[in-house]
């Protein structure tokens, strides 16, 4: 979350401005006093933001997949959806600012308010500058896409199996081999004969080469197992040869072990794990247990929402109702004490309680309408 907050402050430079600075900045931007960003600088800036948001998205997706607390998952899901939307927006902007020609370095075939025709953007140079691997640009598919559609996919599979059993009498149907009729081959008889002869000569040549190779190997083995010289060899010379071969084998084996240990020490090769299969099995079991716990906690959370909603309505509802009525009676008394006319509705009450902010005229109108409705209800009572 710290990375996301940092990236948000980097992108939106108006977050730390005062209200007067924001108004002045928007005025200069509308008047054209703010310089237009260069196409190359814009592309590099948005590319860095896109890579950063991809990294944030992968971390949030892994965190959401491992959380078991239902309320935290709901809050994190909102953030995750917002980050995914931002990734799509940045990809669209990158295609728009891609340096493929056109005016001001923009892509002439892409409009910012319409879908773009392709998605590929070359960012290898930026990855090299940031010292990141190519896997950074891979967009993972969130696991909850499949988990949330598991029931519908299971029903679909069962429906398909039922139709296959009904129509064909089988549960599974293998795919038919692809018959590609796009290639039309037309040979004359003379060309076909030449192709067959060429292939046959090549086959015969390969067969002769394999036969000669086998004969050479047999001759080599026959010379190696020829015991004529071994019977006449001096025992000390034979022992020297055996020691030389054994010491060479041991030296090569020791050098290979030292090389492996050195690579492990400097971090270029992972440490050997003898119980890697056991660890993978434990990891799989832990994941299944975590998924079951997520489903159970979500079910309990949904039940608790309904239960405590009724508890709050029955136990705290009357108290909250009395407090709200007392607040409105006090407001009526104060209005009459200040010499104001008797209010026909509660519009001024809601305006005083929730003062309209910048761009909040719609909220005030909505509160006024709600106040008029409640005033009419009170008159009817």
| Contact status, residue 354 vs residue 365, Cβ threshold 8 Å | no
Whether residue 71 contacts residue 77, with contact meaning beta carbons closer than 8 Å, is answered with no
Annotated domain spans of the chain: 36-140, 149-173, 187-226
Supply angle C-alpha 28, 34, 35, rounded to 5: 165
The mean-pLDDT minimum among 75-89, 107-121, 193-207, 339-353 falls in: 107-121
What mean pLDDT do residues 292-307 have?
A: 87
| pLDDT, tens digit, 9 for 90 and up, residues 107-134 | 555 555 555 556 778 888 888 888 889 8
The reported pLDDT for the residue numbered 367 is 47
- Can you give the pTM of this predicted structure? 0.54
Of the segments 52-61, 88-97, 229-238, 354-363, which one has the largest average pLDDT value?
Answer: 52-61
Task: Please tell me the distance from the alpha carbon of residue 136 to that of residue 58, in angstroms, as a whole number.
Answer: 10
**99 and 39 Cβ atoms separated by less than 8 Å:** yes
Whether the pLDDT of residue 254 is over 70: the answer is yes
pLDDT tens sequence across 312-342: 888 888 888 888 889 888 888 888 888 777 7
């Amino acid at each position: 979350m710290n990375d996301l907050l940092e990236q948000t402050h980097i992108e939106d430079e108006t977050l730390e401005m005062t209200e007067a600075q924001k108004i002045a900045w928007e005025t200069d931007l509308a008047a054209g006093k703010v310089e237009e960003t260069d196409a190359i600088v814009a592309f590099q800036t948005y590319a860095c933001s896109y890579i950063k948001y991809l990294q944030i998205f992968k971390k949030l997706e892994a965190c959401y997949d491992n959380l078991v607390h239902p309320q935290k998952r709901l809050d994190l899901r909102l953030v995750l959806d917002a980050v995914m939307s931002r990734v799509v927006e940045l990809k669209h902007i990158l295609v728009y600012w891609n340096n493929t020609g056109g005016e001001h370095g923009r892509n002439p075939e892409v409009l910012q308010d319409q879908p773009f025709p392709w998605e590929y953007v070359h960012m290898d140079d930026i990855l090299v500058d940031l010292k990141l691997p190519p896997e950074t640009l891979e967009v993972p598919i969130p696991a909850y896409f499949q988990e949330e559609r598991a029931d519908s996919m299971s029903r679909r599979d069962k429906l398909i199996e039922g139709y296959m059993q009904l129509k064909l009498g089988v549960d599974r149907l293998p795919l038919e081999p692809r018959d590609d009729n796009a290639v039309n081959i037309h040979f004359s008889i003379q060309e076909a004969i030449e192709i067959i002869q060429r292939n046959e000569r090549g086959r015969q040549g390969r067969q002769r080469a394999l036969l000669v190779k086998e004969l050479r190997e047999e001759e080599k083995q026959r010379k190696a197992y020829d015991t004529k010289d071994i019977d006449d060899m001096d025992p000390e010379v034979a022992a020297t040869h055996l020691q030389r071969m054994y010491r060479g084998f041991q030296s090569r084996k020791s050098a290979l072990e030292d090389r492996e240990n050195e690579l492990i020490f400097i971090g270029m090769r992972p440490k050997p794990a003898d119980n890697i299969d056991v660890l993978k099995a434990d990891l799989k079991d832990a994941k299944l247990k975590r998924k079951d716990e997520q489903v159970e906690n979500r079910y309990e959370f949904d039940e608790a929402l309904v239960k405590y909603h009724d508890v709050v309505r029955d136990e705290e509802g009357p108290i909250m109702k009395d407090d709200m009525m007392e607040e409105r009676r006090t407001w009526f008394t104060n209005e009459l004490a200040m010499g104001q006319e008797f209010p026909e509705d509660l519009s001024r009450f809601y305006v005083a309680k929730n003062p309209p902010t910048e761009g909040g005229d719609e909220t005030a109108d909505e509160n006024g309408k709600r106040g008029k409705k409640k005033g009419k209800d009170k008159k009817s009572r």
